[in-house]
Amino acid sequence: MALLRRLFPVLGKHLRKGDCGKIGVIGGSPDYTGAPYFASITPMKIGADLAFVYAHSDAAPVIKSYSPELIVYPSTDFATNRHSIERLDALVFGPGLGRQKHTQNLLADVVNFVRSKQNLCLVIDADGLFFIKECSELFKGCTDKVIITPNHREFVRLYTQMFPNQPKGGDTDKLEIQCEMADQLAKHLEVTVMRKGEIDIISNGSAAQTRLVQADTSMRRCGGQGDILSGATALFAFWARKASGADIYSSEHLLDGAEAASLLVRNASLRTFQAVGRSMNAADVIDHIVPVVRDIDSGLSAKVATITTR
């Protein structure tokens, strides 16, 4: 819990709305409305102040009905949403977005925008990962701005696309080789990679800085857990930057953010499985974020008391 406690902002009456994070999610389509909801409600449950969803017009009313806490825009058009996106601290791209040509063009617009903003980072997951190869040249120099979060199958597909002549195409159960491949992909794309699996591997392309998260978690893999993780990663990357006092993102912030998100979601998933068992779903995991946060906050009580008595 040490990393999580270090990143959690200390609460106090001095705070203003937005200080603890404004997180956006570009996702959602007529077929998929749950994914962007999970990715956006997760930061709110952890402690973000505001969450925005930019969704297909047919999906927006459905997502709005899930929670009054979310600010939902009925469009994924970048030009339409640019003014709102400019005010964000971190952005998630891809949950439930679909794999139409429009998604590729939108990803290019978003990456170019994020490159121009030193105070905004980008987490790419789900359908967004499908177009990484087509947009790969846009990621050059984005190790400190962009995190991609592929699961096993998504990693194998992307690795095979980027390194078609490599044996096994990224499909191996050996941890040492998985780490090497994550480092290789991160270095080649010039982004930070979080390869999700039994052990989460987080790499910025430098083997010396690669992090492994092996904390215990649920034995159940249900749909939506990856969306929860992407939303948590966006928030914790911002909190890592905030904790450091920096105005711009660094590679260290993204590494810390991904590791913290993995730790928290693994803990919440474990508690969910212990309480619900095989019947658990992503909504159950969301509910079990609350006690994890309470436990983390209990370790901050002394810090809060010190600030209060000054």
Task: Give binding residues for (6S)-NADPHX as ranges.
Answer: 96, 151-157, 227
Tokens of 83: 């003014």
Q: What angle do CA 5, 122, 72 make, to 5 degrees?
A: 95
**For residues 76 and 54, is the Cβ–Cβ distance under 8 A?**
yes
Query: Could you tell me which residues are beta bridge partners of residue 71?
Result: 52
- Could you tell me whether strands 192-195 and 146-148 are parallel, antiparallel, or unpaired per DSSP bridges? parallel
With CA atoms as reference, report the closest residue to 244 among 7, 5, 22: 7
Angle at 287 between CA 284 and CA 292, to 5 degrees: 120
Residue type, 20: C
Q: Which segments are annotated as binding site for ATP? A: 196-200, 217-226
From the annotation, which residues make up the binding site? 96, 151-157, 196-200, 217-227
Q: Which amino acid is at 46?
A: I
Return the SS3 of 5: helix
